[in-house]
């Protein structure tokens, strides 16, 4: 990619990174910190079952989710900035082809082309599901129903994390 274009994306990535770290700071200082202060103390959160606690937890989990998303994007931005430095920016991590400029303009921190992203997103249906079912079958025969449910959930979560990129 030509130098001018690279500088353009570098600026874009750095601006986005600033915005996100600002958001994380804001959540840390106002969101999570405020909820902590307003709650009647950390320990009581665990033995108190009031409705207030429910919405409190909801607000906090929303903050956590927003912060989590921002942290993930910052990681991706740092990866993209590294690639600008070593001259591999704009190449798909999976197939090695150039990622179209329009896609980079829309998602400058993306590390994969659209085709590969679609493949990654479909992967759970293609490869993980059958394995999951096999595991479930086995565990059913052994009669540990609870274990499957938690195993299934963590697998889903992992895929969700992966597909966010
Ligand atoms: Zn690709």
Nearest 5 degrees, angle CA 94-CA 124-CA 108? 40
Q: What's the pTM value of the predicted model, to 2 decimals?
A: 0.61
Ligand 1 center to residue 92 CA distance, Å? 5
* CB-proximal residues (5 Å) to ion ligand 1: 92, 94-95, 113, 116
Ligand 1 center to residue 91 CA distance, Å? 8
Per-residue pLDDT in tens (0 to 9) along the chain, 165 residues? 889 999 999 999 999 999 999 999 988 888 665 555 555 455 444 555 556 667 777 887 888 888 999 999 999 999 999 999 999 999 999 999 999 999 999 999 999 999 999 888 887 654 433 333 334 344 444 444 444 444 444 455 555 555 555
Ligand 1 center to residue 156 CA distance, Å? 23
Ligand 1 center to residue 61 CA distance, Å? 34
């Amino acid at each position: 990619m030509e130098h001018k274009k690279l500088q353009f994306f570098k600026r874009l990535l750095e601006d986005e990174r600033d915005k996100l770290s600002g958001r994380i700071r804001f959540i840390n200082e106002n969101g999570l910190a405020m909820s902590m202060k307003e709650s009647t103390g950390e320990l009581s959160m665990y033995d108190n079952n009031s409705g207030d606690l429910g919405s409190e937890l909801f607000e906090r989990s929303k903050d956590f989710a927003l912060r989590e998303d921002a942290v993930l994007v910052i990681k991706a931005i740092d990866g993209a900035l590294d690639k600008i430095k070593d001259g591999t920016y704009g190449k798909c991590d999976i197939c090695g082809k150039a990622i179209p400029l329009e896609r980079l303009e829309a998602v400058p921190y993306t590390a994969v082309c659209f085709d590969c992203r679609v493949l990654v997103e479909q992967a759970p249906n293609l490869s993980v599901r059958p394995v999951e079912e096999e595991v479930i079958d086995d565990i059913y025969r052994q009669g540990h129903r609870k274990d499957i449910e938690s195993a299934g959930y963590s697998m889903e979560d992992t895929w969700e994390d992966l597909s966010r990129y």
